[in-house]
Amino acid sequence: MFKDICHSSFPIRDLARRTINVDEVVNNNLEKLIETILSFAESEDDEVRECTAKALQLVATHSKTDLPDEVVQCGINLAQDSVDTVQAAAADLIRACLNDEVAPIVIELAMTFLNGESEDSTLAAIRLIKDAIKKFPEAVNGKAAPAPILAFLALSSMSSPVVSAAAQQLLFLIAGQDEDINEDILDRFNDIDFESADVSEYEELVGEAGQDPSLGATFLAAVLHHFEEEAEKQIEELPAVKVSELDLSDKENAVEQVSYLISHLNDLNEEEEKKAMQALADVFADEAIEDKKLLLLALESIRCGKKIDIPDPTPFSLALDSETFAKNAN
């Protein structure tokens, strides 16, 4: 019955629009609701374990009070599950409950399934790390540790376009405004053939990056070097465009238009900058657009002169950030 209720035809975003008043149900029955849902957390059925995390995520989203520690612990336990869809749901649960006490363990936890083997769990790990770094930067331990893996995911042809795009954005966030490049580390990364390698070949670099946050810029530089070689156009060659002329429905030109605006962000007023940054997030998330190298190159052109915060994409572009109940249920 529980699995049926949490079937994939019951999207988490749509529940609040249905006849049930979710806020009322959650807040009037919070203790019993949590107790009931937690009772399914150790089910032998992996779809039920996934649904447990999804249901608790819904509760966390609508609760007016912080959830008890056992909910977060349930998320941590399920994040170590052997099933990728359970891992992904658990990561999204932890993200919904994120606080400064949980943030210090996020990197270590997410790194256990940030490997590109599963699109669902890899994207969930990236979302979790991204939120932790943005919301609790001082509490996150070893924030640059994922950088070598993110660079690998950004470059490898084994990564889907959506994974590559997500990896690029998180790597940019980790690099921040650091400028110094460690040439020795850069050479060691480049010596690994990212087309034939797997995550295990980057373990030593992960350990070193975890000890030195400034190395994020080095791994970003590795990605940018490959992108510059492969890009059909350079930022300087892009035709000028105004924010008012931006057309994201034009899939052939959207990347070039947004890249031009981002590279000229300092020339925009506050409202125009906001629109350009939202367009950047939406194009990054648009699965119909595969080649997004210019977006990262445009960001790099202004990275050291301006603090950049990439917003979340608008809902229409969230094709693979679906957070639905039991997405793979029959």
Who's near 228: CB < 8 A, 6+ residues apart?
Answer: 234, 297
Per-residue model confidence as pLDDT tens digits over 254-312: 999 999 999 999 999 999 999 999 999 999 999 888 889 999 999 999 888 778 889 88
In a domain, 242, yes or no: yes
Per-residue model confidence as pLDDT tens digits over 213-254: 999 999 999 999 999 988 778 888 999 999 999 999 999 899
Q: Rounded distance, CA 214 to CA 182, Å?
A: 9
In a domain, 268, yes or no: yes
Structural domains in the chain (count): 1
pTM of the model: 0.86
Q: Are 158 and 116 in contact (CB under 8 A)?
A: yes
In a domain, 54, yes or no: no
37-75 b/e (C-beta count within 10 Å ≥ 16 → b): bbebbeeeebbbbbbbbbbbbbbbbbbeeebeeebbebb
Q: Would the pLDDT of 321 be above 70?
A: no
In a domain, 136, yes or no: no
In a domain, 272, yes or no: yes
Give the chain's radius of gyration (CA, Å).
20
Q: Are 178 and 217 in contact (CB under 8 A)?
A: yes
Domain that holds residue 263: 233-316
Amino acid identity, position 82: S
Confidence at residue 67, expressed as pLDDT on a 0 to 100 scale: 92
Please report, rounded to a whole number, the percentage of residues in the chain having pLDDT higher than 70.
89
pLDDT category at 330 given cuts 50, 70, 90 is very low
In a domain, 79, yes or no: no
Q: Would the pLDDT of 52 be above 50?
A: yes
In a domain, 256, yes or no: yes
In a domain, 120, yes or no: no
Q: Which two tokens stand for residue 69?
A: 């520690």
Which letter does DSSP use for residue 90 in this model? Answer: H
Please report, rounded to a whole number, the percentage of residues in the chain having pLDDT higher than 90.
71
Q: Rounded distance, CA 186 to CA 209, Å?
A: 12
Q: Would the pLDDT of 141 be above 60?
A: yes
